[in-house]
Amino acid sequence: MLEIKNLSKTYGNGVRALDNVSLNIPKGMYGLLGPNGAGKSTLMRTIATLQNADQGSIDFNGIDVLKEPAKLRAQLGYLPQDFGVYPRMSARAMLDHLAILKGLSDNKERKRVVEGLLEQTNLKKVAKKSVASYSGGMRQRFGIAQALIGDPQLIIVDEPTAGLDPEERNRFHNLLSEIGENVVVILSTHIVEDVADLCPRMAILNQGRIVAEGVPSDLIAQLDGKVWMKRISKEELPEHRTRYRVISTRLTQGEVLIHVEAAENPGDGFEAIAPDLEDVYFSTITANQSDAAAA
Ligand code: ADP
């Protein structure tokens, strides 16, 4: 269990990236959803002991993460948002190298671990190729392979599917869901489907604050009977925005499909619609933004 309490961080330029964030994250896949700039990477890097918070605490199974970073690192697997330079080294050689750095000094054992990870991430056939030549999806799977060295109990993946095509994303999802229910896996993303498909629990972060937390189906149920849709022309959009609480707009075939949130049927050609996680996300984010605008 990962317990984050009252975590805050303001950067030197005055941006308050984390504002009193508290979360209890159990074993299994946990989705942290939020738009760009919400503070997700700041939170992930702080948990991964790569940067400090101004206040608050993080506890992982009894380890005080901010005070005992080395202890946490021994149990951590991290796939950063920006994996950085891709080596002109084969995936197998690179994993072997990283495994040595993680302290796997026994040659036989290390070979077993490296081959197991190549197998698990479906990279065995391309293990001799340089990582620099890999496609986006292969790089992300390689990223997971390196994150899994040394049986981490806490795995953090930051925006792993950004830029992947649907097939690669699907593969990556399958890989993540196989990692297991016995470790804490935090998936940070701005893509709603990533969380909807994979995560039994989730939180939404916006402007540094947790604005929703729980089981996705429970969050969806809270919107039951409150989401209405209508097809309108582009010209009608500004007027609809002033009259209704528009939570999402999607352009289809020259028309705009809008979702609005209202306790009762607004009439005016609106139809009831069963809410999904995307509605939850946009409803929460837009509510939060109008609060901020009103303040
Ligand atoms: P996300 O990962 O959700 O996109 P980030 O944690 O990267 O969010 O950023 C949160 C906010 O903090 C943004 O406004 C971003 O511009 C700002 N920020 C991030 N890193 C720094 C930094 N090193 N210095 C100053 N501002 C930063």
CATH of the domain at 212: 3.40.50.300
Q: Which residue has the higher pLDDT, 19 or 150?
A: 19
Cα–Cα nearest to 26, from 186, 194, 197? 186
150 and 258 in a common domain: no
pTM for the predicted model, two decimal places: 0.90
Q: Is 168 helix (H, G, I), strand (E, B) or coil?
A: helix
Quick one: average pLDDT of 230-250?
A: 94
202 and 274 in a common domain: no
288 and 165 in a common domain: no
Task: Indicate which residue's Cα is closest to atom 26 of ligand 1.
Answer: 11
C-alpha span between 64 and 235 (Å, rounded): 55
pLDDT tens sequence across 177-200: 888 778 999 999 999 998 998 999
Sheet architecture: strand order including 201-206: 76-79, 154-158, 184-189, 28-33, 201-206, 209-214
Q: Which residue has the higher pLDDT, 179 or 63?
A: 63
CA of 19 to the centre of ligand 1 (A): 13
Domain boundary among 178, 199, 219: 219
156 and 258 in a common domain: no
Q: Is the pLDDT of residue 290 over 60?
A: no
143 and 231 in a common domain: no
Helix (H) or strand (E) holding 289: helix 277-294
Quote the pLDDT of residue 80.
83
Q: Is the pLDDT of residue 85 over 70?
A: no
* Contact of 204 with 212, CB cutoff 8 Å: yes
CA of 38 to the centre of ligand 1 (A): 8
166 and 114 in a common domain: yes
Q: Is the pLDDT of residue 87 over 80?
A: no
CA 36 to each of CA 180, 191, 265: distance values in angstroms, whole numbers, following the listed order: 28, 10, 32
193 and 282 in a common domain: no
pLDDT tens sequence across 252-275: 888 999 999 999 999 999 999 999
Quick one: average pLDDT of 207-212?
A: 97
Quote the pLDDT of residue 163.
76
241 and 179 in a common domain: no
215 and 70 in a common domain: yes
Quote the pLDDT of residue 292.
52
* Contact of 137 with 114, CB cutoff 8 Å: no
Domain boundary among 188, 219, 250: 219
176 and 42 in a common domain: yes
188 and 45 in a common domain: yes
Domain boundary among 219, 237, 267: 219
> Average model confidence (pLDDT) for the chain?
92
pLDDT tens sequence across 110-155: 999 999 999 988 899 999 999 989 988 888 889 889 999 988 999 9
Q: Which atom of ligand 1 is nearest to the CA of 43?
A: 6
Ligand 1 first shell, C-beta below 6 A: 11, 13, 15, 17, 34, 36-42
188 and 55 in a common domain: yes
Domain housing 289: 221-294
CA of 17 to the centre of ligand 1 (A): 6
Q: Is the pLDDT of residue 94 over 50?
A: yes
